[in-house]
Every structure is written in C-alpha cells, then in structure tokens.
Amino acid sequence: MHPVLRLVAQRFALGLLLLWAASALIFAGTQILPGDVAQSILGQSATPQSLANLREELGLNDPAMTRYFNWLWGALQGDLGTALTNGKDIADSMGYRLKNTLFLASCAAIVSVPLAIFLGLLAVRYQGRWPDKMISGVTLASISVPEFLIGYILIYFVAVKLGWFTSVAMIDDRMTFLQSLNAIALPVIVLTLVVLAHMMRMTRAAILNVMQSAYIETAELKGLNSFKVIYRHAFPNAIAPIVNVVMLNLAYLVVGVVVVEVVFVYPGMGQYLVDHVAKRDVPVVQACGLVFAAVYIGLNMIADIVSILANPRLRHPK
Amino acid sequence: MANVLEVKNLKIEATVYPPGEKSRDITIVNGVSFDLKPGKVLGLIGESGAGKSTIGLSAMAYGRGGVRITGGEVWLNGRDILAGGLSALRKLRGAEVTYVAQSAAAAFNPAKKLMEQIIEASIEHKRCSKADAEKRAIALFEKLGLPDPENFGNRYPHQVSGGQLQRAMTALALCPQPDLVIFDEPTTALDVTTQIDVLAAIKDAIRDTGVAALYITHDLAVVAQVSDDIMVLQNGKTVEYADVDTIINNPAEDYTKALVSVRSIDHKEMVPEGTPLLRASGVNARYSGTKFDVLKNINLELYPGQTLALVGESGSGKSTMARVITGLLPPRDGEIEFDGRILSADLKSRSNDDLRELQMIYQMADVAMNPRQTVGTIIGRPLEFYFGIKGAEKRRRIIELLDEIEMGEAFIDRYPAELSGGQKQRVCIARALAAKPKLIICDEVTSALDPLVADGILKLLLNLQKIENVSYLFITHDLATVRAIADSIAVMYQGRVVRYGPKSQVLEPPFDDYTDLLLSSVPEMKLGWLEDVIATRKMESAGN
C-alpha cells in the first residue's frame, strides 16, 4: 500500500474514533444536567402519574447505556429523534437550518479565504512597509471588535442609513439565489471581518518562515520578481500551516456563528441550538452537538489530509 | 578579448546590531579588484569571514541580509550593473550570470520537480522555449554524469543523493547558457569521495560550455584543480592575486604560504603497549524500528594515551559507534570494555565515574554550549558536578584549564557568541578536560573549521594528550587529519571495519579498493592532481 494512502486511511479512522468519543461526551454531558426532561415538558400540569407515563413513553427509565446506543444507532441511520417541545422530527427541521448555516458559511468562506491569503501574500511582499502594517492593523482591529457590535454598526450605517441591504437576514425557499445573497450580505461581511485576521496573519507568518530558506535565495538569483518568488516558491511550501488555519476558521464559520445569526435573525443552526437550549430540549441539543462535532472533526481531518498530500516526501517516497 | 566581468575597487558594507549596543556599519570587503575573461575560472579563496561569498554575489549585485555594495564598480559584459535599478538586475540574474549554492540540498525547492526548477530561469528570461530548455537540461544531466538523464528531471530533490543534487544545481546554473557562473563552495558539503566526482563533472562542464566562472572555496587544493587564476582573500582584502601556478608553487605572501603548507603536523606513531583502555568486541547495532544493522561485528582496541581514528564516508557508521560507546545506543550484541570493566550497555545504568572518564567533543561547538552561560560557567560545571569543587578553588582550576587551551583568564567572563569558531572548540575541549577523562571521543571536531584554525586545534589536542595522557577516539572523514594525529586507524565502510591497524600499516600499500578510493580522493596541493586520480583509481564512490 502506498504510504500516503495508509496515512490518509489512518487519519480517517482516527477522525471516526474521535467523532465516536465526542458522541459519548455529548450524551454523557446532557445526562448529568440537573432537572428532568419530563418535568420540564409538563411544567405546571405535572401529576405523579403523568410524569411516570411520560418517562415511560420517552424511554427515560432505561439504563443510560441502552439509551446511548439506541440514540447512536438512530443517529447513524439519520434518525435524530423528535424534539420534545414541538414533537417534530429533528432531522427534518435541522436539515433546513443546517442548509442555511452552510449557505452562509460557504459564502463567507468564498469571500474570506481567498481574500485572507491574498492579503497575506501582499503583506509578505511589502513586509515591514506601510501596506503590511495597514493590512495587519485593519484586520487586527476588526477581529478585536466584538462581532455583534460590528453587526449593529453595519446595520445602522449600511442598512438603515444607506439602505443598501436589509438589516434582517431572513431567507426562505421562495427567494431566488440573488435575493438570498442580498439578504445575507451583511452577516457575510461581519463573518469575513471576524475570521480574516487570523487566516491572514497565519498565511503571512507561514510564508515569512519559508522565505528564510536557501531556495528562496535561489529563486531570487534566477531573476524572478518578488511575487513570483512568493507564489511559486514560498507558497507551495507553506500550504500545510495555511490549510490548518483555514479549516479552523471554516469550522468556526459553521459552529461559531450563533451570535451573528441572532443579531441578523438568520434561521440557521446557531439560533436553532440557542432556542432549544433555553427550552431544555435535550434531544435537539444532543443532535446539534453531534452535527457540530462532525463538522469540526471533518474539517480538521481534511486539513490533516491536505497537509499530508502537500508534503512531497510523503507523496513521492524514495 | 573583452572581459566578461570586471570588478573595480569594490567596497561592501553591512550593518550589525550587537546586543546591547548601538548598531554600526562594518566593512566586509574593501578595495578588491579583478577581471575575468570568457572561458576562464577565477578561484576566490580565504577563511570564513574573508568576504569571498560576498564578493561572488556582488557579481549579481546581490547582498545577503543587510549587506550592500557601497563603493566601486561591477562591469558585466561591458555594462555597469550597479548603475541600473532592481528590474535591470532581475533581467541579468539567472540569464547572463547564475549561481551554484553551497548546499544544493537546501537550495532546491522541496515542493517542485528538479526539471521545473532547472529550466525556470531559461523560460523566465525567454532564453529559449520550454522544449529546448528541457532538451538542454537533459544534455547537461548526461554531461554531468547523472543517472538516467532522460528521467532524472522528473524526480523531487529528496529523491536524489547529495552529490547528484550538487550536479543538478550545476545544470540549473548552466541551463540558461550564462556568460558567468558563480560556484560558491559547491563541493564543501560533500564526502571526500563524492567531491572528486562532482569536481571533475564541474570542471568538464565549464570547459565544454566555455563559460567563465568564479569558484569560491576555503580549500586551496580544490581550487587549484579548476582555476586559471586565484585570488587569496583575508578580512575582506586581497592578499595575493596571481595565476594558479604561482600561487601553488611560488607564493609571495606569508599568508598564502601558510595556506599552501597547511597540515604540517608531524606526529610520530606510538606502538600499542599495556592493556587496552577501550575494547569493543563483536558489536552489532541497529536503530529501533529498522531491520538492518548499521554496525556489523565491530572489534576495536584503543590504548592509554593514544589516538584511534575512525574514518569513513557519511553513513559508514562511525558516529553510531560513538553512540554505542557512550551508551546512547545500546548495541544488539557485543561488549564495550573500558579500563578493565565491562560498561553497561545502557547510559542510565552507568556510574558517575563511567560518565566522567568518557567525555565527548562535537563537530558544532556552537550548539554544544549554552549560549547564555559564560565560558567560566561552562568549564566550571564538570568541576562542580564530578568533584564538588567550588569557589576560589574552582576559579583557579578554570583559569588553569583556560591556560591549557592557550586562551587565558581574560576569557572567563565571555559568552560563546563573543568567541571565534576555533575558540569555541577550545572551550569545549577544556570542558571535556575538566572532568579528568581517560577517553575523549572527538566527533568531526575540526570539520567545521578553517584549515589554519583546525591545524591549531589538532596541535592543541596532541599537546594535551602528552600532558594528560588521555586517549582519543577520533571520528572523521578527513584523511589529512588522520594522518596528522592518529596512532591507529580503523577504516569503516557500510557498517563494517574494512581495514584496521597501526597508522603506518593502514596508510601503506597494498590497499584494499575502498581505502585506496578514500586516500586518493583527498585533494592534493598539486596541479593536475584531479585528472591523475580519475585516471588511476580502482573503484567509484558509493554515494555519488
């Protein structure tokens, strides 16, 4: 077996193992929460008899192990159970939310990743001079301001004063693609500003690190101009650290957008999770946790695999 | 014929930032002038810090770090290249003048195939089409003796050996058909047996392509093989500039004479007597996770107050042997007997005395010392650790040791960064001596040093041996060093000892093929040596 294939398979297996461990943690975590689901559903109207009935119905009397494996088995088949609060199928209602979140996240990624890498390259090209300092200054300032504040500032100026975009990012299935894009423009801008600095700084640092190498001098002595030196010779050797930070930020775009979704009233996963945490709807919280864990682990696994593939020593052994 | 390169009254400066002081400008090169005709080779020679690489790169108007050309003129093909801007320079770098770096392993981009890198400059400067550039590269691979020239370029740098990479670097420099190539220590990082093949390949390539070259090295014997003229440099100034015959056979300046006659040590071999201090018997060793032995049935003896040299190419197992003796790598089987007792295989179960009596000196003195400790602290540590000596008594011993290494009390409060390469190695020797060892393992201790400095270190080691009656296990790839200081020699090749005995016997014919190769590969200060050797040797280097 080719060593790269073996390494990739290894990463994949480790990812699955990690996901399984995460599922156990999520389940255990929700079990040790104080309070009783049946109690919270019935609230004021609870009688001892109705509580006992509901517990029986929800399977709360089974041992934790049995419930965990039933839940895991269901999740594997795409059955995440039903929400306690409204009795709807979780997979159905979450599917719609997840689609929205992924739509927002991918739009933000499509804008922010190339922009961050381009700005990183630019900062290296003009290292220590004013473009470098300006890029660093602006991106660091934007990451330092809390995202809800940026959100409200944008709403006030861009949506209210200028009227370019809507302040509420409500989207639904009847909207055309362009209408949807218009609706999410502001949250995309906010998310971009939030993740830009981290990716840009890492790109800059990774490439500057490579720029110390002797082969960069070789490239300069070939008479290549600075940009060619950077993107032909430095960038390919800086891919691994860059991909890692990009994936971390993509994961953040999916699992960390709660605040932005709430600010813009966007019907995504974050809002869905927050709503149901407030209502103590344990099955929904578990399901969201599992999906978030899967996204996080999946993206980081991709980063690992890309790093392996980017290494010519592994790709082309002696 | 018009000159390819004319350098007139060159002055190069750099800004240094000493810690805790104001930055200041220092002059690296001052008042250097030379010229070069087409097809001629000028050797630039000098110790490290002489400014030879800096001068070489000035032919491309390139300065490393904060180095800049502040005076003089550099004329390439009849144009003053210092007058034009950066974009004008870019047009000639990689086209009219190219560069071969010292370490090809670091100078090739690990993420790209060799061919892509070798033809890049030709295409960038529109010297020819891609297809033509590839054709030319393949022709160069063939000329430089690279295996499978048609497909060689499809490999990545890590897939070929160091000697092959250095040839590929030469191909990279010659591919755009430049008028001038700068060779910056192109064979210094190679094994002596590999160096000779690469040297011959470079020499042929220069002759066949008719290109002019600057050849930079610290090894006068090497440069004498390829150059027409030689310029000897010291501290950024020209010491002597003449044709190669004059420099080698009739040098005018004392400094040049010293370079030519270096390695003047005459050490009379001692005969083994008494019981051996160190005896290795039947040692086999392998690194964990591997399936082959890097040491195969090694048997060696070293007598008190004498020197055993372990000689071989990189990968021959000589440093592994040192790891086995010091206990860093427990052998698979076999024993190490030291001073009449069997040393435990594992470092952890050795006694304090075992550790004290067996000291090491390393190749890189720089990294073998804590940069934040003074010389006094570094040398004083073993005194305190092994003998519990403290206070005034410790200081007295430190000064005594500093005197022994010919440095003196003035250095006691200095930091390693304030010392020269030779001084650093001396401090390492003093640290080893402080433990009053019976055996010192010297692992390539002079390889990183300039010849004259290395000579001083060897003399010091021999002197100390007489005074302290200490034994040396001297690991090196350099046969000239061995000749200078060894009493007995073990030649290692692919994990085995292929020749072993007293120095006079080992260095006396008839030789086995490998020893012959090793001996004949040591560059000699003689014109035409390279051609003679290539014509008469019996086997080729394994790792070329």
**Whole-number pLDDT of residue B42:** 94
Domain count, chain A: 1
**Whole-number pLDDT of residue B539:** 65
Please tell me which of the candidates A214, A224, A318 has its beta carbon nearest to residue B159: A318
- CB-based contact (8 Å) between A217 and chain B? yes
Q: Each residue of B140-160: pLDDT tens digit?
A: 998 888 888 999 999 999 888
Please tell me which of the candidates A215, A228, A312 has its beta carbon nearest to residue B107: A215
Q: Considering chain B, what is the average pLDDT of its residues? A: 87
Please answer yes or no on whether B108 and A233 come within 8 Å at the CB atom. no
Average pLDDT over residues B355-379: 90
The reply to whether A87 falls in a domain is no
CA–CA gap between residue A113 and residue A121 (Å, rounded): 12
ipTM of the complex: 0.77
The reply to whether A25 falls in a domain is no
- CB-based contact (8 Å) between A215 and chain B? yes
Which of B53, B64, B81, B90 is the best substitution to test chain A (most A C-beta atoms within 10 A)? B90
Q: Which amino acid is at B540?
A: E
Q: Strand, helix or coil at B98?
A: strand
- CB-based contact (8 Å) between B250 and chain A? no
Asked whether the predicted pLDDT for residue A212 surpasses 80, the reply is yes
Give A42-110 as a 3 state SS string: HHHHCCHHHHHHHHHHHCCCCCHHHHHHHHHHHHHCCCCCECCCCCCEHHHHHHHHHHHHHHHHHHHHH
Mind telling me how many Å the CA of B111 is from chain A's nearest CA? 6
Average pLDDT over residues A288-306: 89
CA–CA gap between residue B237 and residue B27 (Å, rounded): 10
Mind telling me how many Å the CA of A151 is from chain B's nearest CA? 42
| Helix and strand element counts for chain B (H, E) | 21, 20
Of chain B, the percentage scoring pLDDT greater than 90 comes to: 37
- When mean pLDDT is compared across A63-77, B147-161, B348-362, B376-390, the lowest value belongs to A63-77
Mind telling me how many Å the CA of A221 is from chain B's nearest CA? 6
Please tell me which of the candidates A228, A310, A312 has its beta carbon nearest to residue B158: A312
For B469, residues 6+ apart whose C-beta sits below 8 A from its C-beta are B304, B305
Q: Each residue of B21-60: pLDDT tens digit?
A: 778 888 888 889 999 999 899 999 988 778 888 899 999 9
**Whole-number pLDDT of residue B263:** 59
CA–CA gap between residue A145 and residue A139 (Å, rounded): 10
- In chain A, whose CA is at the least distance from the CA of B178? A222
In sequence order, what are the beta bridge partners of B491?
A: B311, B499
**Whole-number pLDDT of residue B544:** 43
CA–CA gap between residue A264 and residue A261 (Å, rounded): 5
Please tell me which of the candidates B91, B109, B156 has its beta carbon nearest to residue A223: B91
Portion 46-75 of B in contact with A at CB < 8 A:
60, 62, 64
Q: Considering chain A, what is the average pLDDT of its residues? A: 84
The reply to whether A106 falls in a domain is yes
Specify the CATH number for the domain of residue A118.
1.10.3720.10
**Whole-number pLDDT of residue B541:** 56
Q: Each residue of A109-130: pLDDT tens digit?
A: 999 999 999 999 899 888 888 9
**Whole-number pLDDT of residue B538:** 64
Please answer yes or no on whether A237 and B92 come within 8 Å at the CB atom. no
Give A221's contacts in chain B (Cβ within 8 Å). 60, 62, 93-94, 98-99
Asked whether the predicted pLDDT for residue B543 surpasses 50, the reply is no
**Beta strand extents in B331-384 (DSSP E only):** 333-338, 341-342, 358-361
Domain assignment of residue A104, given as a range? 93-279
The reply to whether A292 falls in a domain is no
Please tell me which of the candidates B64, B91, B111 has its beta carbon nearest to residue A236: B111
- CB-based contact (8 Å) between A224 and chain B? yes
The reply to whether A294 falls in a domain is no
CA–CA gap between residue B123 and residue B194 (Å, rounded): 31
- CB-based contact (8 Å) between A174 and chain B? no
Asked whether the predicted pLDDT for residue B167 surpasses 60, the reply is yes
Nearest to A152 by CA among A167, A137, A166: A167
CA–CA gap between residue B388 and residue A281 (Å, rounded): 70
Q: Which two tokens stand for residue A77?
A: 């088949």
Q: Each residue of B319-358: pLDDT tens digit?
A: 889 999 999 889 998 999 998 889 888 888 899 888 999 9
Asked whether the predicted pLDDT for residue A21 surpasses 50, the reply is yes
Average pLDDT over residues B186-193: 80
- CB-based contact (8 Å) between B124 and chain A? yes
Please tell me which of the candidates B93, B106, B110 has its beta carbon nearest to residue A222: B93
In sequence order, what are the beta bridge partners of B234?
A: B237
Asked whether the predicted pLDDT for residue B220 surpasses 70, the reply is yes
- In chain B, whose CA is at the least distance from the CA of A223? B90
Question: How far are the Cα atoms of A62, B470, B537 from residue A67, in angstroms, in the given order?
Answer: 6, 75, 80
Give A237's contacts in chain B (Cβ within 8 Å). 109-111
Portion 84-113 of B in contact with A at CB < 8 A:
89-95, 98-99, 101, 103, 106-112
Specify burial of residue A6 (Cβ count, 10 A radius: 0-12, 13-18, 19+): exposed
Question: How far are the Cα atoms of A198, B139, B152, B398 from residue B114, in angstroms, in the given order?
Answer: 34, 14, 8, 53
Q: Each residue of B471-507: pLDDT tens digit?
A: 999 998 888 788 888 999 999 988 899 999 998 888 8
Average pLDDT over residues A270-297: 84
Please tell me which of the candidates A213, A214, A222 has its beta carbon nearest to residue B94: A222
> Which DSSP string do the residues of A204-238 spell out, in sequence order?
HHHHHHHHTSHHHHHHHHTT--HHHIIIIIIGGGS
Q: Judge whether B225 and B523 are in contact, CB under 8 Å.
A: yes
Please tell me which of the candidates B117, B121, B156 has its beta carbon nearest to residue A316: B156
The reply to whether A242 falls in a domain is yes
Give A312's contacts in chain B (Cβ within 8 Å). 110-111, 156, 158
- CB-based contact (8 Å) between B115 and chain A? no
**Whole-number pLDDT of residue B120:** 93
CA–CA gap between residue B421 and residue B448 (Å, rounded): 8
- CB-based contact (8 Å) between A3 and chain B? no
Asked whether the predicted pLDDT for residue A77 surpasses 70, the reply is yes
Asked whether the predicted pLDDT for residue B442 surpasses 90, the reply is yes
Domains and CATH numbers, chain B: 5-260 (3.40.50.300), 278-508 (3.40.50.300)
